[in-house]
Amino acid sequence: MAVGADVLDSITRAVSRERLVDTALRLCEVYSPTGSAGEVADALAELLRREGFAVERPEAGWPTAPAVVARLDTGRPGRTLQFNGHLDTVHLPFVKPALRGEQITGSGSADMKAGTGAAVEALLALRDSGVLSGGGVLLTAHDLHEAPWGDGSQLDRLIDDGVRGDAALIPEYLCDTLAIAGRGQATYRATIRRAGLPVHEVMRAADDPNVIAVGAELVRRIVAWNEQLSGDHDPVAGCQSAFVGQLHAGEIYNQSPSECWLEGTRRWLPGMKAAEVEAEFRRLVDGVAAASRTSIELRYQVVRDAFRLPLEDPLVAAFDRAFVATGRQPLPRGAKRFVDDGSSFWARAGMAAITHGPQGGGAHTLEEWVSIPELVRVAKLYAATAVEYCSQ
């Protein structure tokens, strides 16, 4: 079904700016660093129950903060559109929410509790207006999103357990591009160790491995490897890369340390297998260790897999039409520079997932803000997309 002027009118009347702002403030006023989003999840569940929804709370591997799941089902044939948000915030000091003109400020306002509030408002508006003629909407909210404290495993588990729609919308703060491809990302820490304790340099055995030299060799190999990888290029997502961000060893100038460590990232392209990317890295590290008589422990964490939006999926056309219906031109296509939950939907279930949310700023800082008119726009857009997408 298409969103005509009458349907858009109904949606516009049903979206309540006041209720949306209340929801966003309610979510933002609960401190919820990654791993500890239980209390804010309870608050969201309570809010949805008060609105009459039968809320499910699957633990999905994280009993500290069971996920929040609510459904709006028309009971008629059609597709299910999922609205998905994370309720956790990065581990920075808590900044209480506040209203500042046309903005909400505070921890999680941009990333992404207010956006999740806009998705909730879209759900309520669809229910109140009755404009959804088929299919349904699934709302999911979860913890464990932000790396390195979270590993995305709670959402992974929901997807694997079938708590998912046919396609998903994610109200993160990306709003000026429709991201159609993005690189996967892992972080690593390689720790090089030799036998024995740190000693004064004049006391060490002549054939003792020098962990700093081994660290330097590992850096040299990774930099050379990155050179090679940069030739492997996706027209949208960009290049593969292997990056070193820090290198540490030693305490004073004349002590021979027994340990050296380095950290960085590895990024790869859509279509590659994350496990093979990791195995290749391990071979490189093992080669350096074997040649140096040191041990190298590689801690390697896949943050999210690579991402592609299947442009032929009906979600894409529905989203574009909803954009036009709500008075805008369809967004230009581009890269997703950061990894997000869209990668999980695509890599684990082959689902189309569009990341689009309210304009905001200061994510991962103490100065977060989100635009209230943008929250209202996103609530209408999500409702209109559901109307376009769900009824076949």
By beta-carbon proximity to Zn ion, the closer residue of 168 and 296 is: 168
**Contact with Zn ion (CB under 5 A) among 111, 234, 341, 368:** 111
Touching Zn ion, residues 151-210 (CB under 5 A): 172
Give yes or no for a contact between 327 and 338, defined as CB atoms under 8 angstroms apart: no
User: Which residue, 118 or 192, is less far from Zn ion as judged by CB?
Assistant: 118
If the CB atoms of residues 172 and 313 are measured against Zn ion, the closer one turns out to be 172
The nearest distance, CB 104 to Zn ion, in angstroms, is 15
Closer CB to Zn ion, 171 or 264, in the complex: 171
Least distance to Zn ion, CB of residue 372, Å: 19
Q: Which of 42, 35, 68 is nearest to 153 (CA)?
A: 35
Minimum distance, C-beta of residue 384 to Zn ion, in the bound complex (Å): 23
- β-bridge mates for residue 370, sequence order: 104, 360
The one segment of 13-21, 111-119, 187-195, 279-287 that binds Zn ion by CB under 5 A: 111-119
Regarding 112 and contact with Zn ion (CB under 5 A), the answer is yes
Is the Cβ of residue 81 or residue 370 nearer to Zn ion in the bound state?
370
Q: How many CA atoms lie within 13 A of 280 on its CB side?
A: 17
Question: In angstroms, what is the minimal distance from the CB of 115 to Zn ion?
Answer: 8
CB 306 within 8 A of CB 343: yes
How is 119-158 classified by DSSP, letter by letter? HHHHHHHHHHH----SSEEEEEEES--STTT--SHHHHHH
Tokens of 268: 């790869």
Cβ neighbors of 187 (< 8 A, separation 6 or more) are 147, 148, 263, 264, 265, 266, 300, 301, 303
CB 3 to Zn ion: min, Å: 28
Pick the closer one to Zn ion by CB: 35 or 250: 35
Tokens representing 178 are: 């429709």
Per-residue DSSP letter, 330: P
- Joined tokens for residue 81: 């559109």
Which stretch, 12-20, 112-120, 200-208, 248-256, contacts Zn ion (CB under 5 A)?
Answer: 112-120
- Give the separation between CA 382 and CA 355, rounded to whole angstroms: 11
CB of 246 to Zn ion, least distance (A): 24
Residue 59-98 contact track with Zn ion, rule CB under 5 A, x = bound: ----------------------------------------
Output the smallest distance, CB 379 to Zn ion, in A.
Answer: 18
Distance of CA 225 to CAs 26, 237, 281, 292, Å?
Answer: 48, 19, 10, 19
Q: How many chain residues bind Zn ion (CB under 5 A)?
A: 3
Q: How far apart are CA 330 and CA 381, in angstroms?
A: 12
d(CA 221, CA 262): 13
Evaluate whether 110 touches 378 at the Cβ level (below 8 Å): no
Q: How far is the CB of 67 from Zn ion (least distance, A)?
A: 16
Closer CB to Zn ion, residue 138 or residue 370? 370
Smallest gap from residue 5 Cβ to Zn ion (A): 34
Scan residues 247-276 and list those touching Zn ion (CB under 5 A): none
Q: By CB under 5 A, which span of 10-18, 36-44, 103-111, 341-349 interacts with Zn ion?
A: 103-111
Question: Residue 112 or residue 372: which is nearer to Zn ion going by CB?
Answer: 112
The interface region with Zn ion, picked from 105-113, 221-229, 311-319, 352-360 by CB under 5 A, is: 105-113
Task: Strands of 127-236 (E only): list them.
Answer: 136-142, 167-170, 178-182, 184-193, 199-200, 233-234
Nearer to Zn ion, 112 or 167 (CB): 112
Please give the residue ranges that form the binding site for Zn ion (CB under 5 A).
Answer: 111-112, 172
